[in-house]
Structure 1
Amino acid sequence: MPRNITIAALTAAALGLGVLAGAPTASGAEGQRTSPATPVTRAALDPALVEGRGADVPFVEQEAESAATNGTVIGPDRTPYTLPAEASGRKAVKLRPGEHVEFTLPRSANAITVRYSIPDAPGGGGITAPLDVAVNGAKRSTMTLTSQYSWLYNQYPFSNDPDAGLLQPGWWITECACVPAETTPAPVIAKPFRPNHFYDEERLLLGRTYRAGDTVRLTAPAGSRAAWTVIDVLDSELVPLPKIDLLAANVLSFGADPTGRRDSADALDKAIAFAKRTRLKVYIPPGTFRVDRHILVDDVTIKGAGHWYTKIKGRQVDLPAPAPDGSVHTGVGFYGKDAADGGSRNVHLSGFAIEGDVRERIDTDQVNGIGGALSDSTITGLHIQHTKVGMWFDGPMKNLRISDTIIVDQIADAINFHGGVRDSSVTDTFVRNTGDDGLAMWAEKNANTGNTFARNTVQSPVLANGIAIYGGTDNTVSGNLIADPVREGSALHVGARFGAEAFRGRLDITDNATVRSGTYELNWNIGLGAIWFFALDQDIDADIRVTRNDFLDNTYNAIMLVTDWPVKDKHVIKGVHFKDIRVDGTGTSVVSARAKGSATFENVDARNVGAVGVNNCGAFNFPATGSEFSLTDLGGNDGGSTAGDWLAPWLLPNTITCDDRPPVVPPPAPGAW
């Protein structure tokens, strides 16, 4: 079997697939020029406000509402189940057929990503519609947009049917303020009920390199099947040439089909087996390779030409009978062996895209982009879209490094370290539009220990949290940027829930920035904090240090410590220390305490606070001795509102200042401190 392939053959294959058309040209030298016409933002903010936070990515973001358009700007609106609420910055542009939005490139680019939404089909299942792309007035291409991977409805675990009745008739429905029971008819609900997950993304190589100052116009053409097209964000970048590896087992030599017409799963298996025998890497050249099942990986390196060029694309396939783990489907994914079987190790994946076909949430399905147990392994430079979870790891496992990866448009989480993952990290990874937590450590049955989420960006999680830590020991969350969570969660979450092992040792939450966070909790009918602690299953009692974080433009509270009503006298939250914090704008308070326990505060500066600085309800027993939650002032806690410092002396240590649902005062946009 051939062990490599010539440069000429690889180049010919690339040219035959048209992939080199997007490669940089000499005009790339113009790449550092900037144009003020369409501002560059990060999470819809001036990048200077979040400098040093979030992932280092090769693209720049531009908001449609800041571009030239004859369409209609929608938003701002943070109300769940609305198009603006799920948009970056809570604004977007709606185009009717014939209307356009035009961006000015801030630097040289040969590729764009468009975040958009189009309507669902009347009966669900999605539609497709065109979007014309013109550069400098000359049409370059027509994108095909789809809503087949968006538009979910109803209660968890959601439905693709806009006409579905309640999936959980016994659940609290805040829309009617009632609790349906067997003796009470289910409420009449408006249909479609709770539409959500509206957005998707499409990528395009432009065919040549354009300079800073050139214009990219996106037009919803007349006669489009879509009654409207919402454009949220344009990402533009200069994609380098495809990477070539001659000293590798090339999957083309084993029968892989780069056109995507034939399934290449068996060819990948053969290439992996050959590479392991000969101690070579596996190389997947430019092309679209169809893979409709899991590829088992262990002690192997698999490299692509770059995620813009090498695409592993799969269909979701019905299984003839449910698998032992409960799966009823399979699909494209790279999986390590189960931890129970010893797991996999020494796996290195880089430089390709994984494109799934998951359109509904079935929690028992193993239809994730990457899964299993991977120890002593690396994952870098991937692009993952339309899977259930981008990466779900079941421990025990150790020493996994994930970096420089993009995960978008997931039905559930982007990455989850689940049960016994230790000494592992996620860094410089960009996440947008997840249907559940963006990044999570869930210490179910086994503690997650010594892990780090650092310098990542998480934008617009539709449900739950940007970054969530459920139990565990000695973990770190640092340098991340989290923006625009939509409902039933927030930016940063520390939760004793979901059967997680207790928090032990130290948890560091350091140098993060949150933007437009603090969502509305439908079940409680209250607003959450940008960072919130929830003691549901047990106490939160560890050394938790929240240091040098910026909480910007908080919809409700910046900080919340809470437990659930049935266990409010049972569980406490303590051992939490806030230091060197900046709070710029709250709709309600800086701190909302709705639990027993205590916390310390040092050098927490606040401004533009909408209500009383501390909303201290404790456990709602209102004893004469004061709230069951105590705040310790370690000094330097300044600012707040015109009413005075947010942590006024009369509030300490446990003055009851309980307003269960204070009026919300929308904060001004954040600015330089």
Structure 2
Amino acid sequence: MGAAVALAAGMLVCLAPAAHAAAGATLPFTSVEAESATTTGTRIGPDYTQGALASEASGRQAVRLGAGRRIEFTVPRAANAVNVAYSVPDGQSGTLNVYVNGTRLSKTLAVTSKYSYVDTGWIPGSKTHHFYDNARLLLGQNVQAGDRVAFESTGTQVTVDVADFEQVAAAATQPAGSVSVTSKGADPSGQGDSTQAFRDAIASAQGGVVWIPPGDYRLTSSLGGVQNVTLQGAGSWHSVVHTSRFIDQSGSSGGVHIKDFAVIGEVTERVDSSPDNFVNGSLGPNSSVSGMWIQHLKVGLWLTGNNDNLVVENNRILDTTADGLNLNGSAKGVRVRNNFLRNQGDDSLAMWSLYAPDTNSSFENNTISQPNLANGIAIYGGTDIAVRNNLISDTNALGSGIAISNQKFLDPFNPLAGTISVDGNTLVRTGAMNPNWNHPMSALRVDSYDSAINATVAITNTTITDSPYSAFEFVSGGGQGYPVRNVTVDGATVRNTGTVVVQAEAQGAAVFRNVTASGVGSAGIYNCPYPSGSGSFALTDGGGNSGWNSTWSDCSTWPQPGQGNPPQDPNRNLAKGRPATATGSQDVYTPGKAVDGDANSYWESTNNAFPQSLTVDLGSAESVRRLVLKLPPSSAWGARTQTVAVLGSTDGSSYSTVAGPQGYRFDPATGNTATVTLPVGTDLRYLRLTVTANTGWPAGQFSEVEAYSTS
């Protein structure tokens, strides 16, 4: 690498990181955002203000439906079921009419505020939160990609956030030799109390399988003494257990396998002294939880005691008033992978090394959306921990996308030790204003809150997009000025941070390599340790960094985008750095060259094959008033006219014409630039330019496509 140099001395040329596995879980459903659907309702957001309805929505946007108003989704895949994330005003309930291709179903979707509007006044800085809930429905028919599913308010105001479309498999059949809970008297109608029947079936099936047939089962108290048994349902849409406390036990010999059913509770407020959890305590070593739907509980899994080699995979954890999962000390070899978590009231996934360290455990390939009071993933202490290939979006209020922290909360605490590997994660719209500090938190935070960080913290292959504040933060959040040491950030792409790329507020050091940034809001670096005079933070340039070598100069002020939707430059180019695709490209002249900010590089379509199209995904629906189309400014490019039509789409599948085909003159004498003015009210996410002719070359050509919201 050669001698390292200070970042302030300048950046080196970017070196592209190696190819890496995709972040997030492989899910059985496809989500469609409400703001991309067709609606007669009102779009709200984007908004980042704690306590605002849009701020807790996926994408920070949603659609409000008054009485008789409708939202219609284009189905992205074959499906027979839908889950809708929604909000209704506090204290209200209602229904949504459901339509498939314009025909109203006999079924309706019930909506309620019962599980929303949670108050946690004992947590400093928290406000009423947890505004959204999820409701699911089997449609009773198959729909295909391109079909339309609509929801209509019947009177209650309903704010729709996102719809998940899924093809639910038929109910599984009973495994041979298993003990059915109904054979012990369980009531699949949900009317009777099935608690004792579940206990009796577990006692009878030691070493075997307890079968939970399709149906609804009501338990009035928790199960204990669960060990050496498999609890298996017919599928999470078919076998449903209604209880707010499923398993509560301090220990187990292990070998517990829980799979393929739903546990749905009735938890409406967070009471930390109550074990209102799917699992509270221990399943014992070599256990597993898979294929579960867990909803309306305080915590999904609050794990204490011996849970060594536990595997938690392929589950959905929704609408918990506190954590989704917390390894609360002493866990060894735990793997939490390929899970989907939405709308947690605290950390979605956490390891907390209380009493003993969590060791050699990992969170891998999970998709996390809308933790509305804390972090997406939090590691509080522990030894040799990995956080790999997770997709986290839309944190709100008191947290980051990922927090690596020595915040102890209670003693005895085991600080970070060994190697903490944070690799391949994608963070979208993560980070928030902390109302206690009146200070922002980053997308990825390393925090020496209660003690110095001496572990090796290796942060690699990270993508951070649209952080409302900063990308990376190094802080001693307890205000004691403990150092953050031994950190490397190697391979990161940062796009559109509201303030800075690096927020350094502790003494210590970090090395940065191959970190590229674009769309930086204020400056590359804020380096102002707190408390003042507690020591400096050394940022070392390991090479390959670009786009963030400026430094915020005044430590007496924070570069504030405002606690609300961080203001963007109204003249910013909405297309710069966004994903681009094309119907074809010639040699190295690929679509991304048209949005890379370099007017000397260019996209060229397949030759002699008009029409050709270039499509840019702006990331969210934007009001676009003006396009600036460019060719390289070099005089070697002769003047030419290209015939271009402009199309737009909000969902990426249905396009409408925004500006019809017209010839645009590109002349190097005037900068090789053409401007396209679009009609007022042009809202689109996907911008498509279709080229049907070019007098200078038999292909479509653009060196830059710029989109602006100003006329």
TM-score, structure 2 length as denominator? 0.74
Q: 2:309 aligns with which of 389, 396, 399?
A: 399
**Percent of aligned pairs sharing the same letter:** 39
Describe how 1:85-96 pairs up with structure 2 within 5 A.
Answer: 85-96=55-66
Per the TM alignment, residue 503 of structure 1 is displaced from its structure 2 partner at its CA by 0.8
Q: What secondary structure does 1:234 align onto?
A: strand
Partner SS, residue 370 of structure 1 = strand
Question: Which residue number in structure 2 is paired with residue 346 of structure 1?
Answer: 255
Q: How many pairs were matched up?
A: 545
Query: Which position in structure 2 is the counterpart of 1:521?
Result: 434
Superposed counterparts of 1:79-228, under 5 Å: 79-121=49-91, 127-140=92-105, 141-153=107-119, 155-156=121-122, 194-221=127-154, 224=155, 226=156, 228=157
Aligned match of 1:68: 38
How far the C-alpha of 1:657 sits from its partner, in A, is: 5.8
> Structure 1: where are the runs of 5+ without partners?
1-48, 122-126, 158-170, 174-192, 315-330, 640-645
2: distance between equivalents of 1:549 and 1:635?
16
| Structure 1 contact 589–614 (Cα < 8 Å) conserved | yes
Match of 1:300 among 205, 222, 229: 229
Aligned mates of 1:344, 1:84 — CA distance in 2: 46
C-alpha spacing 1:313/1:154, structure 2 compared with 1 (3 Å): closer
Distance 2:262 2:319 in 1: 13
- TM-superposed deviation, 1:408: 0.3
Who is 2:456 aligned against? 543
Deviation at 1:332, TM superposition (A): 3.0
Question: Any gaps of 5 or more consecutive residues in structure 2?
Answer: 1-18, 569-573, 580-591, 593-711
Q: Could you tell me how far 1:490 is from its partner in structure 2?
A: 1.2
Indicate how the Cα distance of structure 1 residues 311 and 93 shifts in structure 2: closer, same or farther if over 3 A, else same. same
Task: Tell me the CA shift for residue 562 of structure 1.
Answer: 0.8
In the alignment, the residues of structure 2 paired with residue 58 and residue 393 of structure 1 have an alpha-carbon distance, to the nearest angstrom, of 26
Show the counterpart of 2:183. 253
Cα distance, 1:99 vs structure 2 = 0.3
Match of 2:190, SS? coil
Report which stretch shifted further, 468-477 or 133-142: 133-142
Shift of 1:137: 1.4
Give the Cα separation in 2 of the matches to 1:535 and 1:304: 44
What is the root-mean-square deviation in Å for CA atoms of aligned residues?
1.9
Show the 5 A alignment for 1:458-473.
458-473=368-383
Aligned residues of 1:350 and 1:380 also touching (Cα < 8 A)? yes
Distance 2:380 2:194 in 1: 38
Bigger proportion of residues as helix: 1
Question: Is the 8 Å Cα contact of residues 344 and 373 (structure 1) preserved in structure 2?
Answer: no
Q: Using the TM superposition, name which of 493-502 and 78-87 deviates more.
A: 493-502
CA contact (8 A) 2:21 2:424 kept: no
Deviates more, 1:193-202 or 1:492-501: 193-202
Distance 1:294 1:359, change over 3 A: same
Aligned counterpart, 1:229: 158
Structure 1 residue 671 displacement after superposition: 2.0
Quote the offset at 1:252 in angstroms: 1.1
Per-residue Cα deviation, 1:459-484 (whole angstroms, up to 9, x for no partner): 00010100000000001000000000
CA distance in 2: counterparts of 1:396 and 1:428, whole angstroms: 22
Query: Does the aligned pair in 2 maintain the 1:346–1:377 contact within 8 Å?
Result: yes
Counterpart for residue 386 of structure 1? 296
1:139 shift after superposition: 1.4
Aligned position for 1:266: 196
1:387-428 per-residue CA deviation (whole Å, 9 max, x = no partner) reads 000111002330100100000000000000011011011111
Report SS of the residue matched to 2:223: strand
User: Kindly tell me: are residues 514 and 419 of structure 1, through their superposed partners in 2, closer, same or farther at Cα, counting changes over 3 Å?
Assistant: same
What amino acid sits opposite 2:505 in the alignment?
Answer: R
Q: Distance in 2 between matches of 1:204 and 1:525?
A: 42
Aligned equivalents of 1:450, 1:599: Cα separation in 2 = 24
Correspondence for 2:469: 556
Q: Does the 8 Å contact 1:401/1:426 carry over to 2?
A: yes
Retained in 2: the 8 A contact 1:250–1:283? yes
User: Cα 1:235–1:659, aligned 2, differ >3 Å: closer, same or farther?
Assistant: farther
TM-fit CA distance, 1:659? 5.3
SS across alignment from 1:590: strand
Whole-angstrom distance in 2 between the partners of 1:251 and 1:510: 43
State the one-letter code of the partner of 2:159: V
Cα distance in 2 for residues equivalent to 1:660 and 1:536:
22
C-alpha deviations, 1:283-315, integer Å up to 9, x for none?
10100000121122111011100000000002x
Letter in 2 for 1:213: G
- The answer as to whether partners of 2:449 and 2:478 remain within 8 angstroms in 1 is no
Match in the other structure for 1:576: 487
Q: 1:596 — aligned with what?
A: 507
Task: Say whether the 8 Å CA contact 2:405–2:416 is kept in structure 1.
Answer: no
Kept in 2, the 8 Å contact 1:396–1:446? The answer is no
The SS at the match of 1:57 is coil
Indicate the structure with greater strand content.
2
Asked if 1:437 is matched to 2:339, the reply is no
Is the CA contact (8 Å cut-off) linking 1:555 and 1:666 kept in structure 2? no
Distance 1:536 1:565, change over 3 A: closer
- Alpha-carbon offset, residue 152 of structure 1: 1.9
Counterpart amino acid of residue 204 in structure 2: F
CA distance in 2, matches of 1:657, 1:136: 58
Matched with 1:55 is 25
Structure-to-structure mapping, 1:605-624, within 5 angstroms: 605-622=516-533
